[in-house]
Amino acid sequence: MKKLSDIVADFLVSKSIKHVFAISGGASLHLIHSISNHPSIDYICNHHEQASAMCADAYSRLTGNVGVAIATSGPGATNLITGLCCSYYDSVPVLAITGQVSTTRMVGNSGVRQVGFQETPIISICHSITKYAVQISDPNEILYQLEKAFFLATSGRPGPVLIDIPDDLQRAFVDLSECYHYSPDVEFDDSIFPDLESSVALIIDRLNSSERPIIIAGWGVHLASFEANLIDFAERLRIPIALTWGAADLLPTSHPLCVGTFGTHGQRHANFAVQNADLILSFGSRLDTKTTGSPLNTFSRGAIKIVIDIDPFELSKFRTFGLKIDQLILQDLRDANVNSLLLKISSNNFPPKARWRKQIQDWKFLYDHIDDEHRTLASGENVNPYLLFNILSNAIIKPTNIVFDTGCSLAWGMQSFIINDLTRIFHDFNNTAMGWAIPAAIASAIVHPHKDTICIVGDGSLMMSLHELAVVKRYKLPIKIFLLNNNGYSMIQQTQDQWLDSDYVASSYDGGLDFPDYKFLASSFSLGYSEARSNASIKDLVASILSDSTGVLCNINVSSKMRVIPQVKAGFPNEDLEPLLPRQMFYEQMIVDPVS
């Protein structure tokens, strides 16, 4: 006989999970105590359940294992939702375990809204943002449901799962011999889409006729641990690789095949490369609208497009939204035969692409100078964030996790960070929630204590998770927090510039915002404090911070007028970014016909 909450702790340990992220509550106490009493697993106390879910999300990204968050019933459970969305939309395997009121205090079929204190129907609430959500009703099903949830979280297209356990069942004693177990069903493959094996001949034919091919790499390449295989494939064919933000760290910036990041907030030369390609081979990217721009039919419109994805629904959507894809391939990149198929493709003697690679480098040289001039002018007397990221990335000399929050801080970094072999970049790329970076940095520092953790966060995003600095303080985590402080929401202001006559309602101090004194804030959480107000001080400041063995908050003063440069305005094709190029130069550089 064993207490059910102890069975949960044993199961997590059997899956090599070392930490769970939790907040105490009346309906989760037995679960947390069982974790506490187990010698092979530990809990981390957050101050908001949203942060617990985000820590678990980052834990999974960092380890490749399932992240676990525990919350109590009612508001504790509902506070997990934003973090679960981060995991769901990025296909990250996370197990959320929520406490629930005792079975004797449940609404049932009574028709009332609530019986037990803080009773909330978390299963139905989270049904659309999890792969599986279930409430335990019989103590003997606990192992079955844990095994099923873990399997579903990690199989196919991964994602979060949720198990809701009533308080009286948590403390029930279970005869392990009477517990039943989960056996996955063998699924019948009735997909209408071909797999990679049946598409090899077509890909070879398209590569033979192509003069301007591009490989697109998405977050799914990381999820499938397919990085080395894809790079090897590209190197054999000498095909340039364009990166979504989710794969921005796939290969060093200095790699001769690295095009850079593209999309609505991408690098200008990378957008030109993708938009002027005549063949697109997309691996592990769902090609969302941030990647393709809008209208969708302007995306790489002169190219034959071949998309390889694990999700048939993602493949089906292109017809619905009007983006013509020439070959839709349903394929899990984790399958053992994928690499051999790519080797078969790359063993062919394809025409050289040297002229195309040189064209991309010429665009990079030309456009980087143009955009740098705009950035220098916009930054004024304050710190130029593009220069900051250039200096910061060149200063990294040991394995480092870079954790980005959302907004302009992220876009500036994605456009200018120089990736090397020591750097991994993490962000919740599709939900892109304000406040994700501090919890994620906590997970990074706990999971990888021998790596540096650098947290890049804007002032608006920092306000969403200030409370988690107490966790940094409690565990003495040596996180280097670079706060890009422009006294407002500059990405929102950029949209207001474009559409609302630069009326900064709810995005500036005059529009209603206010912020704390960051020096006093750092002191209250036992963090070191540094500040930069001009470009002249950045290099020495960055070197000092990276050499510090303790946690530091570095307040980087950025002009409130600084914007993401370049950026695609809604309705424009991805190659035509603002600030717009002189029209004669733009038309001269375009290979495919420009959009009218």
Say if residue 540's pLDDT is above 70: yes
366 in a domain, yes or no?
Answer: no
593 in a domain, yes or no?
Answer: no
515 in a domain, yes or no?
Answer: yes
Q: How many whole angstroms separate alpha carbon 270 and alpha carbon 258?
A: 9
Same domain, 153 and 30: yes
| Angle subtended at Cα 347 by Cα 346 and Cα 351, rounded to the nearest 5 degrees | 70
Quick count: other Cβ atoms within 10 Å of Cβ 156? 15
Nearest by Cα to 207 from 258, 275, 281? 281
104 in a domain, yes or no?
Answer: yes
Rounded to two decimals, the pTM is 0.96
DSSP, collapsed to helix, strand or coil, labels residue 230 as: helix
Same domain, 62 and 33: yes
Looking up tokens 């915002």 gives: 513
Same domain, 171 and 224: no
Residue 253's domain is classified under what CATH number?
Answer: 3.40.50.1220
How many structural domains is the chain composed of?
Answer: 3
DSSP 8-state secondary structure symbol assigned to residue 90: T
Q: Residue range 102-115: average pLDDT? A: 93
The pLDDT, as a whole number, for residue 182 is 97
| Angle subtended at Cα 517 by Cα 514 and Cα 519, rounded to the nearest 5 degrees | 155
pLDDT tens, residue by residue, 385-413 = 999 999 999 999 999 999 999 999 999 99
Same domain, 163 and 266: no
Same domain, 386 and 279: no
Q: Please answer whether residues 328 and 191 qualify as being in contact, where contact means their C-beta atoms are separated by less than 8 angstroms.
A: no
Say if residue 76's pLDDT is above 90: yes
pLDDT tens, residue by residue, 495-507 = 999 999 999 999 9
Q: Residue range 487-494: average pLDDT? A: 97
Mean pLDDT of the chain: 97
Say if residue 592's pLDDT is above 80: yes
Same domain, 413 and 543: yes
CB under 8 A, 24+ apart: contacts of 35-43: 35/9, 35/70, 37/6, 37/9, 38/6, 38/9, 38/10, 38/13, 40/13, 41/9, 41/12, 41/13, 41/17, 42/18, 43/19, 43/70
Same domain, 124 and 215: no
What is the phi/psi pair of residue 61, to 5°? Answer: -60, -35
Q: Residue range 122-130: average pLDDT? A: 98
What is the phi/psi pair of residue 368, to 5°? Answer: -60, -40
Say if residue 16's pLDDT is above 80: yes
Same domain, 410 and 552: yes
The pLDDT, as a whole number, for residue 596 is 78
367 in a domain, yes or no?
Answer: no
**Sheet holding 258-261: strands in order across?**
258-261, 241-243, 213-217, 279-283, 304-309, 327-330
Residue 165 lies in domain: 2-178
Q: Tell me whether the omega of the peptide bond preceding residue 573 falls within 30 degrees of 0, making it cis.
A: no
Q: Residue range 100-109: average pLDDT? A: 94
Same domain, 339 and 239: yes
pLDDT tens, residue by residue, 138-193 = 999 999 999 999 999 999 999 999 999 999 999 999 999 999 999 998 665 667 89
188 in a domain, yes or no?
Answer: no
The pLDDT, as a whole number, for residue 190 is 66
Quote the radius of gyration of the chain (alpha carbons, Å): 25
Burial of 93 (0-12, 13-18, 19+ CB in 10 A): buried
Nearest by Cα to 577 from 589, 561, 592, 566? 566
Q: How many whole angstroms separate alpha carbon 86 and alpha carbon 224?
A: 18
Say if residue 328's pLDDT is above 90: yes
pLDDT tens, residue by residue, 449-490 = 999 999 999 999 999 999 999 999 999 999 999 999 999 999
Q: Tell me whether the omega of the peptide bond preceding residue 579 falls within 30 degrees of 0, making it cis.
A: yes
Q: Please answer whether residues 166 and 200 qualify as being in contact, where contact means their C-beta atoms are separated by less than 8 angstroms.
A: no
The pLDDT, as a whole number, for residue 181 is 97
Which residue, 151, 178, 205, sits at the end of a domain? 178
Same domain, 174 and 202: no
Where would I find the beta strands (DSSP E) of 167-289?
A: 173-174, 213-217, 241-243, 258-261, 279-283
Which residue, 117, 150, 178, sits at the end of a domain? 178
Q: Tell me whether the omega of the peptide bond preceding residue 566 falls within 30 degrees of 0, making it cis.
A: yes
Using left for φ > 0, alpha for ψ between -120 and 50, and beta otherwise, residue 438 falls in alpha
The pLDDT, as a whole number, for residue 187 is 62
63 in a domain, yes or no?
Answer: yes
The pLDDT, as a whole number, for residue 251 is 96
Residue 95's domain is classified under what CATH number?
Answer: 3.40.50.970
Q: Please answer whether residues 183 and 147 qualify as being in contact, where contact means their C-beta atoms are separated by less than 8 angstroms.
A: no
Same domain, 7 and 153: yes
Same domain, 14 and 118: yes
192 in a domain, yes or no?
Answer: no
